[in-house]
Amino acid sequence: MTLGNVLLGMGISIFKFAGLGNDPYSGMAMALAERVGMQYANLLLIVNLFIFVLELVFGRAFVGAGTLVNAFFLGYITTFFYALWTRFAAPPASLAVQIPVMLAGTVVTGLGVSMYQTPNVGVSPYDSMSLIMTKRMPKISYFWNRIFTDALCAFVCFLAGGIVGLGTLVSAFGLGPVINFFNVHFTRKLFGKDEDIL
């Protein structure tokens, strides 16, 4: 789970380095942090704490060690890796380089999510929102609840002046198949599980 969160933070930092947009939630936090003049990791921690309270109240079953690691450390892991990339190279300026970097971010992020979720030791505050909505409103599927939360974050990101681009679309619609690939061919076998727990 911890290694999964490290890889997830690395993947988010690669998406940011590519400059084509991040997953909606990270992109929203990055845009808001820049807008208010706060470090991304600190703002993400504040937002996570607020959502964590909602998770405790409405979805206590989703809370575990993974929730705390993700909520408290993911932003700082992302910041560490982004600083590492920019120390040795400038962010790519052409699509010919940006797209391969973004695709690398997709693979690393997908592996990270798979490894952090499969042990079944807690769901991140943001990920819990669509699960809680599905539990509270069973007539609306998880798919549509997730689309709603992602779309809302992307909209806030756009309003705050953040990048909503190809990376955002790939994160929203392309990560699922990548995560499932790693679930089937790597992570479930690592943990001896036959199917997803969450």
> Which of 38, 40, 36 is closest to 26 using CA atoms?
40
| Residues 118, 191 contacting (CB under 8 angstroms) | yes
Helix (H) or strand (E) holding 15: helix 2-18
Report the sign of the C-alpha dihedral through residues 164, 17, 8, 160, in that order: negative
CA distance 80 to 75: 9
> Which of 66, 82, 76 is closest to 42 using CA atoms?
76
pTM of this structure: 0.91
Position of tokens 């909606």? 24
CA distance 34 to 25: 14
What radius of gyration do the chain's Cα atoms show? 16
Q: Is 169 helix (H, G, I), strand (E, B) or coil?
A: helix
pLDDT in tens, the chain (198 residues): 999 999 999 999 999 999 999 999 999 999 999 999 999 999 999 999 999 999 999 999 999 999 999 999 999 999 999 999 999 999 999 999 999 999 999 999 999 999 998 888 999 999 999 999 999 998 898 889 989 999 999 999 999 999 999 999 999 888 888 988 998 889 988 888 665 544
> Which of 87, 105, 143 is closest to 20 using CA atoms?
105
CA distance 102 to 21: 9
CA distance 25 to 51: 12
Q: Which two tokens stand for residue 153?
A: 């974050």
